[in-house]
Structure 1
């Protein structure tokens, strides 16, 4: 079996799908989405095509090692997102060829389903209670929301109190809440806010500081008992290593479309298990990314929670299941997502619809925010 084609597709609202085909007709799908940088990731596939057209697609680990190490420069969001999509598609192809789910080839099931959570926004704190109630009525028992909108380096007690009020409004609807600081909060405020939120019993606080500040994250982790989560902007096991060694994180959130795909995220999860750290994969993306996450949940014992983008505010015009022909495999039941049992990633993509969408490629960009004084504010 030899790889004959590696195709990429711009899929709305902001995704990049990958399709690999072999000379015997077997194929596999993956997702290399890097929000706002689809063009850059697509460009990285030129080198991957040169290297792997004609290669045996069943040799997934060899392809991973060559793709990661063979170009001399390695790591970072663009190269690792391209490798992630390639890796997912290879597992999908091999699973289809063997008639096995990816989790079965990675050691077999450790669970039948995984608890899911959905977004309720929070950037603009209108109708938080109604949004939480709507998610509960959909069957979700857990939600995630942003803590704040634009922030200065220093804030007022009133602003901090408003964050608490919004969390309490969501909790009053009977759901557990994870709070995402989104890297927007600077150290002087992050310590205050984390301490103020501690009595609320949050599932976690996510990215209380950006991951380039490991010393500050370590300080916050020692300041409060609330679990600290991070990892969407880390791209390999080597990136996660110092946070695990410092004890600066309780829940890691690798993104299977950014952090080397299913292969690397399985290794990251195993490394985290040695530190008694939970895994809750980051996934505000498309159906293939979520399907890959569920394959990881199926075989990694320390996966505890799964994010999904159903109805997320980014999904304008096209939602999580738009391009899926078997949507039941990615549909939560009583707040849990079932582990897919179909071959490969377990999800079937409407190829004709993907090709049609790609004919008018998206150009998604995240907004740029400004603080009250006109300076740049983290989004």
Structure 2
């Protein structure tokens, strides 16, 4: 069996899919994308595909080594995301060739269901209660939301109170038996994080995500020491090497993204590394159905898994949603706030290829918003 073709598809709302085909008709799907840089990653995928054409698709680890280390310049979000999607597709082919779900190839399932959470915006405090209620009515037992909109470099009283008001509204809507996590989204300076996080403790958030920008990871230990709330990070970290310092600094939850951090091959190793620090894994996934399917394969085979993000109904999904490119939706049906273990071969998701090809005819041009402070200087989005 040999790889004969690698294709990419730019599909709304902001995703990039890849398709690997073999000479005996097996097809694997992956989701390689950097949100806002889809075209750049698309070019990287096709450049890397030159290493795959004519090769045996079942040599998944060897391919990962060549794709990540076959060039003198390595790493970073674009290359790591391109590799991630190709890696997902290769695992998908391997599972289909062996008639087994990927989690079976990774050692077999360690649980029968995984808890999931939904994402609500949180940028506008008045919308929080209604958004939380909608997620609860959809059957979820946990949500994550932005802690704030634009934040000053040193927050004022009104900004701090806005964070507390958002969390209070969410907690009231959730009650004591459901969970809320707060995403600082890299919008907070380290000083703001150290000042504000202790004020959140009474509402008992599950965790605070990305309290400082990844380029300030050397400061995250200071935030951890000042925080009575578990600290999570990792959506913008792309390898074991980048996770090691934050694990050593004492983070409580590791959040690699299956479409950014080198795919299934690298995230399973990040999970094992996190386990040596007694840190659970909560894969980041505000993306499409292939990324979520790959995340679930990790979730079902990783002992130190905590909870899984999913994007159904997320505000980014204007014009297309999680299930629009999927033929069999049962895999993504909620059961008491959980998803059940998929048993189909490969990633377990059945992609509607006709819908994907049609969507690619239009494509998309999604980019991250540009925010500015009142003085005109750039603000973190």
The two structures share one fold, judged by TM-score above 0.5:
yes
Kindly report which structure 2 residues correspond to 1:50-69, keeping only aligned pairs within 5 A, or say none. 50-69=50-69
**Aligned match of 1:275:** 277
Q: 1:158 and 2:161 equivalent?
A: no
**Aligned match of 2:340:** 338
Q: Secondary structure at the match of 1:9?
A: strand
Kindly report which structure 2 residues correspond to 1:1-379, keeping only aligned pairs within 5 A, or say none. 1-174=1-174, 175-247=178-250, 249-379=251-381
Residue by residue over 1:18-42, the C-alpha shift from the partner in whole angstroms, topping out at 9 and shown as x without a partner, is 1000111111101002100011111
Residue by residue over 1:308-341, the C-alpha shift from the partner in whole angstroms, topping out at 9 and shown as x without a partner, is 0000000001000000001110122111011211
CA RMSD of aligned residues (A): 0.9
Residue by residue over 1:273-313, the C-alpha shift from the partner in whole angstroms, topping out at 9 and shown as x without a partner, is 01000100000000000000000011001111000000000
* 8 Å Cα contact 1:269-1:302 kept in structure 2: yes
Separation (CA, whole Å) in 1 of partners of 2:357 and 2:46 = 19
Separation (CA, whole Å) in 2 of partners of 1:189 and 1:121 = 20
TM-score (norm 2): 0.98
Q: Tell me, which stretches of 5 or more residues in structure 1 are unaligned?
A: none
* 8 Å Cα contact 1:6-1:21 kept in structure 2: yes
Q: Secondary structure at the match of 1:293?
A: helix
Separation (CA, whole Å) in 1 of partners of 2:101 and 2:68 = 25
* 8 Å Cα contact 1:297-1:339 kept in structure 2: no
TM-score (norm 1): 0.98
Moved more, 181-190 or 269-278: 181-190
Separation (CA, whole Å) in 2 of partners of 1:220 and 1:48 = 39
* 8 Å Cα contact 1:123-1:146 kept in structure 2: yes
Q: CA deviation at 1:232?
A: 0.3
Q: Secondary structure at the match of 2:160?
A: helix
Residue by residue over 1:171-227, the C-alpha shift from the partner in whole angstroms, topping out at 9 and shown as x without a partner, is 111231100000001122111111111222110000111122123210110112211
Q: May I ask how many residue pairs the two structures share in their alignment?
A: 378
Residue by residue over 1:85-106, the C-alpha shift from the partner in whole angstroms, topping out at 9 and shown as x without a partner, is 0000001111111110000001
* 8 Å Cα contact 1:182-1:206 kept in structure 2: yes
Residue by residue over 1:327-365, the C-alpha shift from the partner in whole angstroms, topping out at 9 and shown as x without a partner, is 110122111011211000000000001001101121110
* 8 Å Cα contact 1:101-1:343 kept in structure 2: yes
Q: Tell me, which stretches of 5 or more residues in structure 2 are unaligned?
A: none
